[in-house]
């Protein structure tokens, strides 16, 4: 049982931290805003390692983590389920018999333009926040957020949803907030894309950075 926790919790968490750092560094505007918001919240090198409570209180960090998980879910192949007794009929009429294996791929659904909009391929943490120009009402934002939450399978769904979700997220928040507070980090080659090989876990290669302690 312990081995299962390690297998399920190690790569997924590391992949999510790597994604958050990579996508932020590819979008320096986002990385800078994160650093500004950490500093405005009074978090300094003396606060490190930054606590889960403090990091979770920063909406922009939450938006970054959710967007990184959307861009590259820690599990990026179909989450399979057996169709229960009696089979299942879709609203569109198609029927799937009981016992059939069906699944939804979190990576693909996270790129569905009817949920995330025309810029679904872009890393834009702001999509998880209420429109800052104030053009979006609270009700409209709640409806949009509900739609995104319903389609977000980065931790799966239903009775087999990830049991380590909160532990995984705790690590991602703390590590990203602490790195951004303690270090200056730049991509060695900002133009180069990383390489991702999907084999259940999407394995990333090529995140090369220059890192130095902030004064
Ligand atoms: C950011 C980090 C993590 C991500 C993205 C992640 C993602 C997932 C996903 C997508 C599933 C499949 C859910 C489904 O089929 O509906 C899953 C299941 C699972 N996860 Fe995680 N996970 C993370 C961290 C962890 C951690 C830290 C642990 C344990 C300490 C853990 C333990 C498990 C276990 C035991 C299952 C199987 C649950 C079951 O089948 O009932 N996960 N995770």
pLDDT in tens, 178-189: 999 999 999 999
Q: Over the stretch 4-45, which tens digit does the pLDDT of each residue have? A: 888 899 999 999 999 999 999 999 999 999 999 999 999 999
Angstrom distance (rounded) from CA 184 to CA 213? 6
Percent of all residues in the chain with a pLDDT value above 70, rounded to a whole number: 100
Q: How far is the CA of 121 from the centre of ligand 1 (A)?
A: 24
> Of ligand 1's atoms, which has the minimum distance to the CA of residue 80?
15
Per-residue model confidence (pLDDT) at position 80: 94
- Greatest Cα pair distance, the chain, in angstroms, is 65
Q: How far is the CA of 44 from the centre of ligand 1 (A)?
A: 32
Asked if residue 133 has pLDDT above 80, the reply is: no
Per-residue model confidence (pLDDT) at position 19: 98
Angstrom distance (rounded) from CA 32 to CA 107? 27
Q: Using CA positions, which residue lies closest to atom 19 of ligand 1?
A: 162
Measuring CA to CA, how many Å separate 36 from each of 19, 33, 92, 144? Answer: 20, 5, 48, 27
| Mean of pLDDT values over 96-121 | 96
Per-residue model confidence (pLDDT) at position 33: 98
Does domain 2-213 match CATH 1.10.630.10? yes
Better-predicted residue by pLDDT, 153 or 132: 153
Q: How far is the CA of 9 from the centre of ligand 1 (A)?
A: 6
Q: How far is the CA of 148 from the centre of ligand 1 (A)?
A: 20
Pocket of ligand 1 (CB under 6 A): 4-5, 8-9, 12-13, 16, 74-75, 79, 154-157, 160-164, 167-168, 172
Q: Over the stretch 66-79, which tens digit does the pLDDT of each residue have? A: 999 999 999 999 99
Residue to mutate (ligand 1; options 1, 5, 6, 12; most atoms within 8 A of CB): 12
Angstrom distance (rounded) from CA 1 to CA 52? 26
Residue 1's pLDDT band (cuts 50, 70, 90)? confident
> Of ligand 1's atoms, which has the minimum distance to the CA of residue 5?
29
Angstrom distance (rounded) from CA 89 to CA 57? 42
Quick check: 85 and 28 in contact, CB under 8 A? no
Asked if residue 135 has pLDDT above 90, the reply is: no
Kindly report the length of the chain.
215
Q: Using CA positions, which residue lies closest to atom 12 of ligand 1?
A: 156
Residue 162 marked as a ligand binder:
yes
Residue 175's pLDDT band (cuts 50, 70, 90)? very high
Q: Give the distance from CA 111 to its chain's centroid.
A: 13
Q: How far is the CA of 134 from the centre of ligand 1 (A)?
A: 36
> Of ligand 1's atoms, which has the minimum distance to the CA of residue 16?
1
Q: If you compute the radius of gyration of the chain from its CA atoms, what whole number of angstroms results?
A: 19
Residue 194's pLDDT band (cuts 50, 70, 90)? very high
Per-residue model confidence (pLDDT) at position 186: 97
């Amino acid at each position: 049982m312990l081995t299962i926790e390690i297998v399920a919790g190690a790569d997924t968490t590391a992949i999510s931290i790597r994604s958050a750092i990579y996508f932020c560094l590819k979008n320096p505007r986002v990385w800078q805003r994160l650093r500004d918001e950490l500093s405005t919240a009074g978090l300094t090198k003396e606060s490190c390692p930054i606590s889960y409570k403090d990091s979770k209180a920063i909406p922009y960090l939450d938006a970054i983590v959710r967007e990184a998980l959307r861009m590259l879910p820690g599990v990026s192949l179909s989450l399979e389920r057996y169709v229960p007794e009696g089979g299942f009929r879709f609203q569109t009429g198609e029927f799937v018999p009981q016992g059939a294996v069906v699944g939804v791929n979190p990576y693909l659904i996270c790129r569905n333009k009817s949920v995330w909009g025309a810029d679904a391929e872009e890393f834009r943490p702001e999509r998880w926040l209420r429109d800052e120009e104030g053009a979006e009402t609270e009700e409209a934002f709640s409806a949009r957020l509900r739609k995104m939450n319903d389609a977000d399978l980065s931790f799966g769904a239903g009775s087999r949803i990830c049991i380590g979700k909160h532990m995984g997220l705790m690590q991602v928040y703390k590590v990203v907030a602490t790195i951004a507070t303690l270090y200056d980090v730049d991509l060695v080659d900002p133009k180069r894309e990383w390489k991702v090989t999907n084999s259940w876990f999407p394995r990333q290669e090529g995140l090369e950075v220059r890192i130095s302690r902030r004064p």
